[in-house]
Structure formats: C-alpha cells, structure tokens
Structure 1
Amino acid sequence: MGTFEIKELNFLNSNSSIFICACEPSGDLYGSLFVKNYLYNRCKRIFGVGGEDLKNAGVSLIYDYHNLKTFGFTLGLSAIIKNIKMYRMIARSLFQIKPDFFIPVAYPGINLLLCRYAKRLKIKVIYLLPPQLWIWGSFRKYFIKKWVDIVVSVIPFEYHFYKQKKIRVTYWLNPLLKELKKYQRDDYTKRIGFMPGSRTSEIKRNLPVIIELISHLQNKYNLEYSIILHPDTSNSKTLNKLRFLPNVKLIVRERYREMRNCDLIVTCSGTASLECSIMEIPQIFFNRPGFLDYYVFRHLFNIDEYNLVNLYYRKKIVPVFVMRKKEKLRNLMLQELENLLRKMPD
C-alpha cells in the first residue's frame, strides 16, 4: 500500500502558513491528529475552521463550525443559507491569509468548492478524508483531479479506489489505531453505552429510539446505562428529556474512558463505530435517516452497507439496523440486544 508521503510538506518551515478546514466533529478530530503528527513542530502559522480538537492542537480558529449541524442530503433552507455564508467567510479568509497550503477535511459540500477557490489563488491543496466517491457522485473525480494536489485517505480500499481513478493519493494509517489503544478498562461494572450521534438532526431522530430501548432494558436487566455525547451536543434542547431518565449517566467529557468501560455500545455514527472496533468493544449500529434520505437519495448509493467498520474491513462484523419505522427499528434492536446480553459473561 505504500508509506505515508506528501513531498510538498518537506518544504514547510517556520514561515510557512496553513489553513485547515474541518466543518464537523469527525473532521475536527482527524484534522487535529494530522496537525499534531505532521504540522505543528514544522509550522507555527496554522489557521482554520474547526472545533475544540483543532483548537487544542494549536490551530488559530477563525471560524467555529458548531452552527453546521446538518446530516445527509436533506438540508433545510436555514442550513443552506448558513453553508453559503460559511463558504463566503472562509473564502474571504483564504484570500486575506493566502496560506501556502489549504487542507480541507471531509465535508465536501463546502470543502470541494473551497478547493476550487484555493487553486484560483494558487494555493496547494491537500484533501484529508476525501469525498467518498465510492458511495455516490463518482463524477466528482474530475473536480478532485483539477482542484486537489494530493488526497490523504485513512481507509485502505478507498486508497486503492483513488489510485485506480489515477488521482494522486497517499495512505495514512488510521491515527485512531494508536490514539485509542492507550485507554484501558478500569471499571468492570456491567454497562451498556449509547452514542446517538454528533449532529443535532441525527440525535433528534435517533434519541427517541434510544430512550425506548433503555426503558425496556431497565425493566429486565440490572445494568448501568450511559449516554455518551459529543461535547458539541451537551447544550442541545433535544437532550433535556435525558436528564429525567432514572439511573442513566450522561457523559460529555472523557468519553473514550467511558466507552472503554462499557460491555456493549449502541452506536449511530461511523466514527464512533470505528472507535468501538479499535477498542474491541462489542457494538450494534443503527440509524434512523431522514425521510428523503431513506426513500429517495439512498437509491443513488453504489453500496448496500451503511456501517464504516464493515466497509473498512470489507466484511460483516457489526450488526446494522437502518430504517425509518421507529417501532420496527426498536423491536429489532431489542431482539439483537437481548441476544448479545444473554451471551455476556456474568
């Protein structure tokens, strides 16, 4: 597969400048690890768009992404307006700073257009976590060839996909493999964790299912229950009802430690599912998509698998439940959960 190599970065020095753009939590996480591993000791002028992770990695944030909370194809008018405003502001910052490198992270809806603008400014573009052409929209390969200098992939088969498309790509061994191995279990109380997602729209759809699952399980099993949240969602109005759930812990900080102490986790996002896999925590994945996402846009997909772990390893490892009907989803999830709980050692 080859080693990680970006020749352009060899010319970085203390006078170089970089602009990194992560518009969602997973991009913020991977972007921060990229900065820590490859940029911070070689270049002190790093600006960007992101959240807490990039900020803690030493990036000077010029814009916070927290207002972008949409997921999937279905965007509300207000979200589209926010995206347009955000694009204009970032483009203005790129023009003012004129960095040596622009590093977009995932989120192609905005970032791919920003790649185009960066090339117009003669800025080198390194795309970290590139558009998932293998899922949909393979026509975007023409834009990537034209606007991106090199792609950085953390998924083995994606690396080969881009190679086959004759797009310059390098493979970065997923940094989470090293980052998460340092967490060891220190509490052996039998516990189930629930991770409803990191975007408000995602949580709004998945949370009612989780609440019903917990209520049912509490009547049958003497276990601890944790709802593990991304820090961005801790003030969300949709989470207020959780505060009244009896004997359920809400975890916002030190979420990896809490994950490591779970016997089983129900996940709703790809990154969380991959994190569970790396830490070798049994899991179930579910998602309740938006109406148009489920009934219209999913038919544009080139794949039938929705879970990142199963895609990453190219085999069925994680049980997956993706459907719109809440009652059917809940019943199938309960059946799977109870099967797994019966197999758990006492």
Structure 2
Amino acid sequence: MTQLKANSATFSGRTIAIIAGEASGDILGAGLIRALRKRYPKARFVGIGGDEMIAEGFHSLVPMERLSVMGLVEVLGRIRELFSIRARLLDYLFTTPPDVVIGIDSPDFTLAIERRCREAGIPSAHYVSPSVWAWRQKRIFKIAKSVDLMLTLFPFEARFYEEHHVPVSFVGHPLADRIALEPDTLAARESLGLEVDKPVLAVLPGSRGGEVERLGTLFIEASRWLQARRPDLQLVIPCVNRDRERQVRDLVESLEVSLPVTLVRGRSRDVMAASDVVLLASGTATLEAMLLKKPMVVGYRLSDFSYKILSRLVKVPWVALPNLLAQEQLVPELLQDDATPEKLGAAVLERLENEQERDRLHQAFLELHQVLRQGADERAAAAVSELLESRS
C-alpha cells in the first residue's frame, strides 16, 4: 500500500476531492483544478461541483444544486436530504480515500466533512474563510480541529488565523486577477447605451426580493433627493433577474423618479464600471466597486431586532470590504438610523463633486487591488501542493 501511494505521487496520479456548494465556489474550484492539473497532470478530481468544475474534467458525485439552499426555512425543508448527501459523500471518501479533501466556502456543510476526513487521516483544506474574524469568533476552535490548511482571500483573514495558530495561506482574490487595474468607463457607458458626457450613478440595492423591498425604496428616494441638485445625473440599476427588474420598475414608477433611469438585467459589473459613484448595500459588491476604482456609499438597514443582535455579535468596526482591507474608513457606511435618503444623497453628491477625493480614493483602491492581485488560482494550488507533498 505504501509503495502504491509513492508510485501514485511519482506519476502525478493524485486523487483530489473538492466540495463546492454554490456558484461562486464552482468558479473558484474550476480555477483551482486548472492550476493543480499543471502540477499533477494525471490527477483525478472528484466530489461535488457545478458546471464550471465539470468542464475541467471534474466528476461530481451529486448535482451541486442539491446543496444550493438559502434561508432557514428552505434548509429545514431539505435537512434530511443534506444529511443523506453528507453521509453518502463521507462513505465514498472513506471507501476510496483521496490524497486531500478541499472544501470551498459553504462552511456549514463542508467543515463537518473536512473534520471527519482529517480524523480519518485524510489531509483537509478549506478555501474561503468563514467570517469568523467578524463574529462568533469561537468558531476558530472548531475550524482548527477541521483543517490542516486554511486558504484565505484577504490578508486580514490570514492574520487572524496566524494569531490562533491555524495553518493558513493568503492566496489573494480571483476577482482582483480578472478585473483590469484601470477600468474602461467610456466603453462600459457605450455598451449600456448611456450618454458618455453626463454623470452616472449606479444603484445596487441587492439581489434578493427582501433586500430590494427594504433598500430599493430608500436608495431610489436618495436618488430622487439628488435629482433636485443634479438634474443631469443618469441613474442605472442592474437587476439580477426578471422578477427583480419588475420589482424595481414598480418602485421607480411609484416614487415618480424624474431622472433618466436605465434598468439592466444582470451586468452589474458593467453598470459599476460605467458609473461615477456607486450607491450599494454592503457585501461582495463593495469589493467589485473598489476593484473598479469607483467611489461608493454603503447603506444598509435591518429590522431593529436583527440589528441589535448583530451589533452585539460583530467584532469589527466596519462592514464594507474596502474599509476592512484598508483598516480605515475609505467608504462611508450609513447603517440603520443613519441610512436616510438625505444622508445617502449628500454622501453621493460629495463624491460626485469632490474631484480631489475621487483621485485619493482611486489611488487607495489601486493599492488595495494590487495587494489582492496575487494570482489566486496558482497560489492556492501551490499551497495545496505543499500540503500534499508534506504528507507523501
């Protein structure tokens, strides 16, 4: 058995198990497979993944869509199936042990599998850190028992793991590799049919119906506040699908917005690239706006009950990724009671008209982009390879 394993390593005949539970993980997994295949041309990739990973020669034991559930009610409705998938996957991994198991994001599902595999002597890694640095920090002890290696997208995450003596590798963010250091604003405006010589405000109230209902009205009222002061402003709102487009159109009509409003299905990155300023909810969109070098204003509201609970749990001073990366407030965050149409509008107006501030932000965002532009696929593959070779 030992000789067989040695020969397998010599001829790159590794078996690498990867578990991805959603579309973003599928994209990361595909990039990781491409980079690992350069090191292990004869490797076999197996586990759970989507179309992107399958296109790279990955064998998915279960359709990834069966793991893509969101919300407590939906999870509870599928809990038996999720437990069944986990049991079948573990049975497969224990029966035909891979050389390494890599969970990508989806920590509620993947970390438990990684822990069981590690206890069985199979090296495990996790790609994309849970937000353990921000809240429920005691989860770090569970993670430490589950993984031999954590691969993080952001440097501040790596520092947190180092402080807790968990093996970690900062690999950078794939978006930073894919987005150009200098965006082409003119080309983006032309592709969307916008007037190239008039200012553009991109409005992103979120992708889910509840978010759009809660923040859409607020953001559109802020836009209406702006129209009295900047009647030349073009308003562009990307909508993730037909339902959100219908929802946003109803809001715009009900609030009688007289600004030119362009609704775009999908293409949120193009919309941000075309803009002068972005008004958006917190989340990954703030990272994209930063990589596109766009001044932004972050606004968010929760129910009072949810906000009181989260404000006690969260251990970081900011919610927007540019601020977390810079460890200073580059981006205004107007949350809860501070998120009013007037305050949001005034913050947007300041960033529209203050050229010196726009130049300062551009330079700061460029420097952060370069920090994250590390060749994430290759760095992740190198770290996994080092883990593999250390166990050969």
Q: TM-score range by the shorter chain?
A: 0.7 to 0.9
Could you tell me whether the CA contact under 8 Å between 2:125 and 2:150 is conserved in 1? Answer: yes
* Structure (1 or 2) with the greater helix fraction: 2
1:77 paired with 2:73, answer: yes
Residue of 240, 259, 268 corresponding to 2:246:
240
Could you tell me whether the CA contact under 8 Å between 2:241 and 2:265 is conserved in 1? Answer: yes
1:92 paired with 2:88, answer: yes
Matches within 5 A, 1:1-346: 13=12, 16-23=15-22, 26-38=24-36, 42=40, 43=43, 45-49=45-49, 62-64=63-65, 68-70=69-71, 76-82=72-78, 85-96=81-92, 99-119=98-118, 122-181=121-180, 183-185=183-185, 186=187, 187=189, 188-189=196-197, 190-218=199-227, 220-229=230-239, 233-235=240-242, 237-244=243-250, 245=252, 247-323=260-336, 325=337, 328-343=339-354
2:236 maps to amino acid: S
| Larger gyration radius, structure 1 or structure 2 | 2
Q: Deviations over 1:160-210 (max 9, x none)?
A: 221121111111022322211165231344211122234454444322222
Larger RCO of the pair (alpha carbons < 8 Å, separation 6+) = 2
Deviation of 1:283 (Å): 0.9
Number of aligned residues: 323
2:184 maps to amino acid: Q
Secondary structure at the aligned position of 2:353 is classed as helix
Deviation of 1:333 (Å): 0.8
Q: Deviations over 1:58-105 (max 9, x none)?
A: 6556222785334xxxxx434444466435424433533655433223
Sort the Cα spacing of 1:275 and 1:39 in 2 relative to 1 into closer, same or farther, 3 A: farther
| TM-score between both structures, scaled by the size of structure 1 | 0.78
| TM-score between both structures, scaled by the size of structure 2 | 0.70
Secondary structure at the aligned position of 1:133 is classed as helix
Could you tell me whether the CA contact under 8 Å between 1:14 and 1:45 is conserved in 2? Answer: no
- Calculate the aligned-residue CA RMSD, in Å: 3.3
User: What residue ranges of structure 2 are gaps of 5+ in the alignment?
Assistant: 1-8, 190-195, 254-259, 357-392
Q: Deviations over 1:264-296 (max 9, x none)?
A: 112213321112112211111122234443111
Could you tell me whether the CA contact under 8 Å between 2:276 and 2:352 is conserved in 1? Answer: no
User: What residue ranges of structure 1 are gaps of 5+ in the alignment?
Assistant: 1-9, 71-75
For 1:82 and 1:271, how far apart are their aligned partners in 2? 27
Sort the Cα spacing of 1:297 and 1:226 in 2 relative to 1 into closer, same or farther, 3 A: same
